[in-house]
């Protein structure tokens, strides 16, 4: 399946899960088609806008460059701790993203979670170190 089709089929999940950090963008400088667009992506103010700009750029990849761009994008994602996003693109790996139902349940129960999580017992440090929360 081509890159544009994969992105279009998974656009809302990609927008939710992707973290277009400076580190990811730095890794993407090695991807020929994307490197010329990085400065425009970095200029965006919010993460949502950066994600949208990156995904829009990936939708414009010419057919003859799609495989190399996809390979470079996946490598950059994996290098930056975003294997859950790679999973969305490839369907392979051990780290699928959280389902929409699970995410919704956690959002609805955030108040309860905050009430019962005791930051003094080290759970907060563990969650941050595992990049579960930021």
Domain range list for the chain: 3-90, 100-129
Q: Is the C-alpha dihedral spanning 125, 130, 131, 133 positive or negative?
A: negative
CA distance 73 to 133: 24
pLDDT tens sequence for the chain (134 residues):
688 899 999 998 999 999 999 999 999 999 989 999 999 999 999 999 999 999 999 999 999 999 999 999 999 999 999 999 999 999 898 888 888 888 888 888 888 877 777 777 777 788 778 777 76
Global confidence as pTM: 0.77
**Domain covering 3-90 in this structure, CATH number:** 1.10.533.10
């Amino acid at each position: 399946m081509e890159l544009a089709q994969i992105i279009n089929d998974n656009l809302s999940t990609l927008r939710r899960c992707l973290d277009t950090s400076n580190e990811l963008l730095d890794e993407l400088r090695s991807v020929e088609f994307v490197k010329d667009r990085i400065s425009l992506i970095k200029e965006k103010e919010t993460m949502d806008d950066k994600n949208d700009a990156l995904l829009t750029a990936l939708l414009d990849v010419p057919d003859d460059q799609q495989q190399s761009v996809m390979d470079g994008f996946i490598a950059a994602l994996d290098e930056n701790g975003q294997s859950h996003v790679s999973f969305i693109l490839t369907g392979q790996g051990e780290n699928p993203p959280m389902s929409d139902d699970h995410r919704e349940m956690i959002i609805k129960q955030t108040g309860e979670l905050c009430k019962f999580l005791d930051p003094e017992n080290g759970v907060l440090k563990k969650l941050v170190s595992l990049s579960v929360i930021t």
